[in-house]
Amino acid sequence: MRQVLVLNGPNLGRLGSREPDVYGDTTHAGLAERCRRLGAELGLDVEVRQTDDEAELVGWLHEAADDATPVVLNPAAFTHYSYALRDACAQLRAPLVEVHISNPAAREVFRHTSVVAGVATGTVAGFGPASYDLALRAVADTPS
């Protein structure tokens, strides 16, 4: 079974209680279970992680780069300014799908720019938790 890391950045551990009008009422635990369940259906071994710490997220990306593990990444606020995260993503040797629950382009102007998008295989945004489903399907459909 092909391993995939689903990595979530800051504040995503607060899903379900954080701005439900923007992010919905699905909790992070519910999102993680959804990803693991769909992953199993697609023949993927999905591990879901969340951190509010930029250095920890960069470390996980280094781990994925070293192991050539595909990544589904919701960089959250780091999307817009973390060049450290962007540089770690650029080292990946397997697919990287940037994912967002909301559509950053339809929100505040400061959210319109992603420093990660330029090194991602693709981006899925605006479909709520289903954005993760689409991202995992893209990974499953991408050759190893």
Q: How far apart are the C-alpha atoms of 21 and 36, rounded to whole Å?
A: 25
Look up 83 and say whether it is catalytic.
no
- DSSP 8-state assignment for residue 128: T
Q: Which of 83, 100, 112, 132 is catalytic?
A: 100
| Residue 133 is assigned to a ligand binding site | no
67 is in an annotated binding site: no
101 labelled ligand-binding: yes
Q: In 3D, which of 81, 90, 63, 89 has the Cα closest to residue 10?
A: 81
Distances (CA, A) of 88 to 104, 114, 142: 22, 14, 21
66 among annotated binding-site residues: no
Asked whether residue 102 is marked as a ligand-binding residue, the answer is yes
Distance, in Å, from the CA atom of 3 to the CA atom of 125, rounded to the nearest integer, reads 23
Active-site annotation holds for 23: yes
Say if residue 74 carries a ligand binding annotation: yes
Binding residues for substrate: 74, 80, 87, 101-102, 111
Give the residue numbers annotated as catalytic, written as ranges. Answer: 23, 100
